[in-house]
Structure 1
Amino acid sequence: MALRTDSPLQATVAHRGRLLRFSGDPGTQDEPSAYQYLDDGLLLIADGKVAAVGPAGELLNGVAAGVPLIEHRDALLLPGFIDSHIHYPQTDMIASGGTDLLDWLTHYTFPEERRFADAGAAREVAEFFLDELMRNGTTTAQVLGSVHRASAEAIFAAAEARGLRLIAGKCLMDRNCPDDLRDTAIDGERDTRALIEHWHGRARLHYAITVRFAPTSTNAQLQSAGRMARDYPDTFIHSHLAENLGEVAWVRELFPKSRSYLDVYEHYGLLRERAIYAHCIHLDTTDRERMAATGASCAFSPTSNLYLGSGLFDLAACDAVGMNYALATDVGGGSSFSMLKTMSEAYKVAQLQGQRLTPLRAFYLATLAGARILGLADRIGTLSVGSEADFIVLDLKATPLLERRIARCQSLSEELLVLMTLAPDHAIRETHVLGRPMLSAHGPSLAT
């Protein structure tokens, strides 16, 4: 269907349906002012960006003649999901068992990551991994590679070919890991600098200086990471922090002069804006205050934390000091690529602690919150005029049960809770990147 009007508003395509987008955090400000919900909304796309967004009744007559109008009946339009922490080399070991984090790393992660010394294997997994992101409505992710430079090259090249906005980096590890997965402080810095110079800021790509976690880097390598963070202040810093009590105790043995696990990173200059640390479960108030003060953020990974028995992330304690966080799947410790399932597990983590994660806030944590902690809210996560047109279409009738339950909902909040509890993976009907359909009608990736 095409819009027929003589008005001048230009667009290459228009999408009509229910529409939800956020401008703030529904958990820390007046909820109605933090989001916009339109029962009949119109999203106009031009040149890969949002040209206009608002009530369909107000915008329809202002669109240039001949613009295709795509109707999304029984669907919800919203910004693409943003996964703030995920391991692409762990794609093929998802759903592997383990007694706890350190056992799981030894018996599953490290053996699997050996494959990524082979550039061909890395490319094949990178393509499948990005297909899975598209199937699950994730349009931006912060991704760890393996220790191999080839792993970072593969994921960057695959993301560039699809036009994705993606943050990635090769892991730095020079101790406490298998010899064939170990770099050195000198080699790790050389490779990282070369990758930054080649990929950072190219197309929609960004580099993350990636210390796997403090126990697998020597003092020399941590110093090297801090030096690169100073030399490239607009890069990201990506690592793990206080995920497991055994890990925390190990850090205390390795760094006896540090006040805490977080203090290790701060000592080496690795706390600042665009520094994202996964998990952050076993922190004290001082740690959380330091993260808030320095602008560092947390990637909250509930499916992983529950699957590996690592502990429960304390949302209320973070909110109390203004510490920023967003949702992450943490595949393959995490048990699903789905941000909908991740929201559901986050809800349960809060419930187990007598806290409340509202459905509106859960969807915020999967969209705008991710853009904010990554410093990219001017480009993604909002569907604001001028922002990049990364968005998804959620099918409200994906299963008979979902359709039946949605029909009984009395509010948007109830509908969102039902979606994050009952919606299957294929509820993501369409995934659009820069306005282009990358997944449509439950079909394969359309990227080239």
Structure 2
Amino acid sequence: MSSLSPIAIRGRFLDITHTVSQADQIAQAVRYIEDGLLITEQGQIKWFGSWEQGQSQLTSDITVEHYPEQLIVPGFIDTHIHFPQTEMVGAFGEQLLEWLNTYTFPTELQFSDKAYADQIAHFFVNELLKNGTTTALVFCTVHPQSVDALFEAATRHHMRLIAGKVMMDRHAPEGLCDTAESAYHDSKALIEKWHGQGRNLYAITPRFAPTSTPEQLEKAGQLKAEYPDVYIHTHLSENKNETAWVKELFPEQKGYLDVYHHYGLTGNRSVFAHCVHLEEDEWDCMHDTDSAIAFCPTSNLFLGSGLFPLKKTWEKQVKVGLGTDIGAGTSFNQLQTLNEAYKVQQLQGDKLSAFESFYHATLGGAKALHLQDKLGNFNVGKEADFVVLNLNATALQTLRQQRAKNIEDALFALFTMGDDRNIQATYIYGQKAYEQKA
């Protein structure tokens, strides 16, 4: 990785100092510094604290960038998103299985063309940056060149992405199907090429149980056994019809999650998107295996999949992060995603506080991705990914923020009303990767 110049940022900082085991512990872990200083070196946080204490740490060669009116937070973490579905956001009228066949599969066929994959990957990465997302766990397509396109685009920004080639050998168009053997060999080659190169990490990616034969899932488990520090990324219990279909296809397993567990695909780097309809023993398995969930509220609402019981993740001690799930999800923006997450909980009679929302979008998301030692807050030694937020991007936001009682209330208003207009700048590995045009 090329040499990265040191930077210093002054302004209002907000983060969460450590992971917690219950939502009511988050408020005590919140760190808010009204006038703070962050110094980076080689992409990592070298010093963090108050401006008053930090001035002595500055050397003559470092220019201080000052954001006096803004709020600086750790970069947002997206634990489930599909880069090939970028162009099909807002496709009308279907639930999951029909939506896949009508819209998703025809769109993904285009990614056999590397030039096309490059074009969409470039657009996708720019959208992440524009929305303050600094790390994401990403589905590519069945085509290995789609993975190359995405990692190449991310590497230009020193961005930490986790991604992988879809494994899919049945119940899909011929042009999107691989085989158990080809999926194994293609994935193995991609792991060798990309995993741990710079900040890139690889995820073994069976689309979901119905589109993989038992032979292919066995090969996925073989890959995981051979490369234990790579990720598993797939879908689980998103839709009731999907769940019933899995039980028909795999009658010898106890349920949907047991299919993955049987083939060795659960674990501390395994992330299962949705999990709206988990059964009690599946919640226990998620906990026992230290697997994680990606909660995707805009997608669950858009496809009519159901309401995710976020409160249950605390009860069962299951890791959870936030996912936009583009393109069933309707926004790249984590502020809009949190707006919908709040409503999903309201519909179940539960409250989602601003600080809990903030936790899931930052440090909690890092924990879900087994990256809490590298990402999620401003602790010294962490990677310097952060976002500069303008809390007054519209006239209505300005009016509302004038009435904010404290930082928690200001944050809640931002999560309720915010969008990409609130992202003033995004820093990746200590370097400014995006700045909103004046």
Letter in 1 for 2:53: E
Partner of 1:262: 257
Report the more deviating stretch, 232-241 or 145-154.
Answer: 145-154
Partner of 2:185: 190
Letter in 2 for 1:337: F
Gaps of 5+ in 1: 1-10, 444-448
Answer yes or no: is 1:110 the counterpart of 2:105: yes
Gaps of 5+ in 2: none
Partner of 1:20: 14
Query: CA separation in 2, counterparts of 1:160 and 1:168?
Result: 13
Partner of 1:223: 218
C-alpha deviation, 1:98, in angstroms: 3.0
Query: Of the candidates 270, 275, 283, which is equivalent to residue 275 of structure 1?
Result: 270
Report the more deviating stretch, 164-173 or 97-106.
Answer: 97-106
Q: Is the 8 A contact 1:26 1:32 kept in 2?
A: no
Partner of 2:235: 240
Q: Is the 8 A contact 2:386 2:426 kept in 1?
A: yes
- The CA RMSD over aligned residues, in Å, is 1.3
Describe the SS at the equivalent of 1:243. Answer: coil
Letter in 2 for 1:102: L
Query: CA separation in 1, counterparts of 2:51 and 2:22?
Result: 28
Query: Of the candidates 417, 423, 437, which is equivalent to residue 422 of structure 1?
Result: 417
What is the TM-score with the length of structure 1 in the denominator?
A: 0.94
Partner of 2:163: 168
Letter in 2 for 1:17: G
C-alpha deviation, 1:27, in angstroms: 4.6
Query: CA separation in 1, counterparts of 2:14 and 2:295?
Result: 22
Query: CA separation in 1, counterparts of 2:177 and 2:234?
Result: 17
Q: Is the 8 A contact 1:175 1:216 kept in 2?
A: yes
Query: CA separation in 2, counterparts of 1:190 and 1:332?
Result: 28
- Please list the CA deviations of residues 49-78 of structure 1 after superposition, one character each: whole Å capped at 9, or x if unmatched: 111111212222342235211111221001
- Please list the CA deviations of residues 104-152 of structure 1 after superposition, one character each: whole Å capped at 9, or x if unmatched: 1010000000000000100000000000000000010011001111111
Describe the SS at the equivalent of 2:152. Answer: helix
Report the more deviating stretch, 314-323 or 294-303.
Answer: 314-323
Letter in 2 for 1:221: Q
Partner of 2:33: 38
Query: CA separation in 2, counterparts of 1:328 and 1:389?
Result: 21
Partner of 2:145: 150
Query: CA separation in 2, counterparts of 1:411 and 1:24?
Result: 23
Q: Is the 8 A contact 1:430 1:442 kept in 2?
A: no
C-alpha deviation, 1:178, in angstroms: 0.8
For 1:31-430, list aligned pairs within 5 A: 31-430=26-425
Letter in 1 for 2:233: H
Query: CA separation in 1, counterparts of 2:30 and 2:125?
Result: 29
Describe the SS at the equivalent of 1:329. Answer: coil
C-alpha deviation, 1:370, in angstroms: 1.4
* Number of corresponding residues: 433
Letter in 1 for 2:276: I
Query: CA separation in 2, counterparts of 1:291 and 1:225?
Result: 19
- Please list the CA deviations of residues 203-258 of structure 1 after superposition, one character each: whole Å capped at 9, or x if unmatched: 00011000000000001001000111111000000000000001001001101111
Q: Is the 8 A contact 1:398 1:424 kept in 2?
A: no
Query: CA separation in 1, counterparts of 2:205 and 2:33?
Result: 40
Q: Is the 8 A contact 1:229 1:270 kept in 2?
A: yes
- Please list the CA deviations of residues 290-313 of structure 1 after superposition, one character each: whole Å capped at 9, or x if unmatched: 101101100000000000000010
- Please list the CA deviations of residues 80-121 of structure 1 after superposition, one character each: whole Å capped at 9, or x if unmatched: 111011000000001111320011101000000000000010
Letter in 1 for 2:26: E
Query: CA separation in 2, counterparts of 1:156 and 1:47?
Result: 21
Q: Is the 8 A contact 2:131 2:419 kept in 1?
A: no
Describe the SS at the equivalent of 2:23. Answer: coil
Describe the SS at the equivalent of 2:382. Answer: coil
What is the TM-score with the length of structure 2 in the denominator?
A: 0.97
In structure 2, the CA distance between the partners of 1:320 and 1:213, relative to structure 1 (3 Å rule), is: same
In structure 2, the CA distance between the partners of 1:260 and 1:101, relative to structure 1 (3 Å rule), is: same
Letter in 1 for 2:13: L
Query: Of the candidates 426, 430, 435, which is equivalent to residue 435 of structure 1?
Result: 430
Query: CA separation in 2, counterparts of 1:330 and 1:441?
Result: 24
Query: CA separation in 1, counterparts of 2:260 and 2:19?
Result: 29
Letter in 1 for 2:384: A
Identical-residue share of aligned pairs (%): 45
C-alpha deviation, 1:383, in angstroms: 1.7
